Amino acid sequence: MEKQNLFKWKHYQPVIILLTVRWHLWYTTEVFYNLVEMMEERGLFIAHTTITRWVQQY
């Protein structure tokens, strides 16, 4: 049985996706838009809808 790559065809590294999903689930929705700003401060421009899709997928 072959292991599936859950992050195939993603534009961001798996570590970034997992950290963002974890922060989104850990903090309240009030901090959600701050999460987008936190990523921008680190040079990653991620839309809030992208984060929502990641949370739903993973």
Residue 43: predicted pLDDT: 92
Taking only the tens place, the pLDDT of each residue in 7-49 is 888 888 889 999 889 888 887 666 677 888 888 998 999 888 8
Give a yes or no: residue 3 inside a domain: no
Give a yes or no: residue 5 inside a domain: no
Chain Cα centroid distance, residue 4: 19
Give a yes or no: residue 33 inside a domain: yes
Residue 29: predicted pLDDT: 64
Residue 36: predicted pLDDT: 86
Give a yes or no: residue 35 inside a domain: yes
Amino acid at 8: K
Give a yes or no: residue 36 inside a domain: yes
Give a yes or no: residue 27 inside a domain: yes
Residue 7: predicted pLDDT: 82
Tokens of 26: 């850990």
Q: What is the DSSP string of 5-37?
A: -TTTT-SS-HHHHHHHHHHHHHS-GGGHHHHHH
Domain boundaries, position 39? 14-57
Give a yes or no: residue 37 inside a domain: yes
Number of domains in the chain: 1
pLDDT band of 1, cuts 50, 70, 90: very low
Give a yes or no: residue 1 inside a domain: no
